[in-house]
Chain A
Amino acid sequence: MRTSASSRCFSQRQRDSSLSDSELQEAFARGALKPGLNVVLEEQPKRRNDVAGLRQCLAEFKRQLAWVERLDVTSGQVADPTSQSASDKDAVDAENDFQREMSFYRQAQAAVLEALPKLRKLQVPTRRPDDYFAEMAKSDQQMQKIRQKLKSKQEAMERSEKAKQLRAMRKYGKKVQTEILQRRQKEKKNMLNAVKKYQKGLSDKLDFLDEEQTSSQGNKKGSASQRIKKGPNAKRRYKNQKFGFGGKKKGSKWNTKESFNDVSSFRSKVAHNKGPGKAGKGGKKALNKRPGKRARQKMKSRAR
């Protein structure tokens, strides 16, 4: 029988409502019982919805005020010219953040478009002149923070964009490089083939040598001229700068009037052992490791 297979829940119900076996059998005959676990469906308690009461309450509670006092607008969304499907109210997906916010935005837009002419008619100003200064909802500090955040965001975007471009460029450069290498290999191969042919006596033309030579020589010349233009390499240049190359060396390390008067490297914050980490007198004490003259002399005599 079905009852034997039914769940504990069911048996409990059986006890509660004193369902007899015969009743269950009837239910089974009707097809009300399905094979498997039979769980009692909990009936949802009836939620109260007193429509008449609500209406009456609204009628009592409503205040007849001019629209200027209330400034309320009930309107649908502005029809979006780009997407027709999203303009449907039913299509708005609450889980889709962007779509949902867009629907709110468009509703606000519709309200503004409806209300602004009305306000203008009633001579309520909607735009504050640029020289009207008053306290704002968000402080200047807060707005500054917001601006900074926007800026940093934009910068980050730009940076990533640049990096992307660079990556693409590098990829392209690699491609070009391989192409060049392949071309060179091919040229070499051709050349070798031609040489072989000449050696075997299949052809007695030597012009392939000429053109190769001219082209390669031209290249070499170009590179040589470039080298001349560039000057010595970086290491040499650095060494020249460090140890001097050419010119008079004598007296070059002496002070001149200009160097003497130049105090740009003097940093008052760091000078006189005022390191960045040490502040005030404590720092001074820690720094003054060398004992005084008396103390030193005493130490010396003691050591003797």
Chain B
Amino acid sequence: MAAGKRQREGPTVRPRKRAKKAPSAPEPDATPAPEEYSIPPPVSQGKWKNKERVLIFSSRGINFRARHLMQDLRTLMPHSKADTKMDRKDQLFVINEVCEMKNCNKCIFFEAKKKQDLYMWLSNIPQGPSAKFLVQNVHTLAELKMTGNCLRGSRPLLSFDPAFDKEPHYALLKELFIQIFSTPQYHPKSQPFVDHVFTFTITDERIWFRNYQIIEEDASLVEIGPRFVLNLIKIFQGSFGGPTLYENPHYQSPNMHRRLIRLSVAAKFREKQQVKEVQKLKKTGSKVLMEEDPTEVVFETPAEEKPVEIQLVKPESKPIVKDKKKLRKIQRKKQKKLFRTEASA
């Protein structure tokens, strides 16, 4: 890839340029001013001692989100280098040689599988240890939700959960995170300010990464991004290999997770189908004839026989009345008349 090649050449050229520039154009505000916020001397005037370099690259077949995350990490870490995507997936130990060629002693390697699962390797190059994580819930810098901003290449504070000191594997990971993510002081590409914080928190057996901008001195923060969750899989003693030091018992592979979901859906479907079938059977199946139970009639007492009565006389026919109320009306009228005559008399 052309972009990769360009970037490969970049770091070798740049420091020379810086070195040339620094003596010819000394900063006017190099002397410490009495005011509160003074412009510090350029980083090139300090002594760059910690020569940590991190190679950040990926395997082939990563999706856009992973690629953006990788780019974001590169912009946030001035001590990082880039390389072309790696072709082979089986022989990860080749990465050690790649890093050696690129002069890096740390590595962040993104491994994509099935075009959807993203794994992240963090490794200390020549002799290890290395750790493999599953990366979940990735949000990148390009999202509009996170409103903060920081200088490109400024050094971050690293904030760790106290849980990192409680267990040995977390302690190891903490050291690994510190060495990888902290930008060396006076790194030529870095800025002289500390204006953002990386937080690593352990919640839900996972490591949550957040990046905040420091706005005020009273610690009001705004999130910059990116954010992601690291689910630890294994820690190896060597770099990209070697004996396993730790294996996360809470880890469930995404394949397994998807399979369980599929199974549960299938089970639900099957259950529904069975219920339907049973109902169908109930509807169509002929009613089973109950055999006569001899005990059913135990408590039935035979009724006494009554003599048969025969009506010999014709029943009186009722007079057919058209207006059923007429009779009653006539009666009432008569009564009224009677009442009146009595009253008048």
Contact = CB atoms under 8 A, between A and B. Distances in A.
A224 interface: no
Given A111-B157, A111-B158, 13 more contacts: A49-B169, A54-B168, A54-B235, A54-B245, A57-B172, A57-B237, A61-B175, A71-B155, A72-B158, A72-B160, A72-B182, A115-B194, A127-B37
Nearest to B158: A72
A108 B199 contact: yes
Nearest to A63: B179
Contact of A116 (B75, B191, B219): B219
24 contacts: A48-B246, A49-B247, A54-B172, A58-B175, A61-B129, A62-B175, A69-B50, A69-B182, A71-B157, A71-B182, A73-B157, A75-B159, A105-B221, A107-B161, A111-B160, A126-B193, A128-B193, A134-B152, A135-B151, A137-B149, A137-B150, A138-B141, A138-B149, A143-B149
A67 to B, nearest CB: 10
Interface stretch (A144-152, A178-186, A273-281): A144-152
A104 interface: yes
Contacts of A115: 157, 194
Interface string A187-225: 000000000000000000000000000000000000000
Interface stretch (B107-115, B201-209, B280-288, B314-322): B201-209
Contact of B129 (A47, A57, A149): A57
A129 B151 CA distance: 12
Given A49-B169, A71-B158, A109-B221, A125 B197 contact: no
B195 A142 contact: no
Interface in A87-146: 89, 92, 94, 100, 103-105, 107-113, 115-116, 119, 124-129, 132, 134-138, 142-143, 145-146
B214 interface: yes
Contact of A124 (B151, B184, B194): B194
Contacts of B249: 44, 47
Interface residues of A, number: 61
A143 B191 CA distance: 20
Contact of A48 (B49, B165, B223, B244): B244
B159 A57 contact: no
Interface of A: 44, 47-51, 53-55, 57-58, 60-63, 65, 68-76, 78, 89, 92, 94, 100, 103-105, 107-113, 115-116, 119, 124-129, 132, 134-138, 142-143, 145-146, 149-150
Nearest to A109: B219
A145 B144 contact: yes
Contacts of A116: 214, 217, 219
Nearest to A76: B162
Given A61-B129, A116-B217, A54 B246 contact: yes
B245 A129 contact: no
Given A74-B165, A108-B212, A125-B194, A136 B152 contact: yes
A65 B197 CA distance: 19
B236 to A, nearest CB: 10
Contacts of A76: 161-162
A53 to B, nearest CB: 5
Contact of A53 (B199, B208, B245): B245
A57 B217 contact: no
Contacts of A74: 159-162, 164-165, 174
Contacts of B116: none
A110 B161 CA distance: 10
Nearest to A138: B149
Contacts of A69: 49-50, 182, 184-185
A104 B209 CA distance: 9
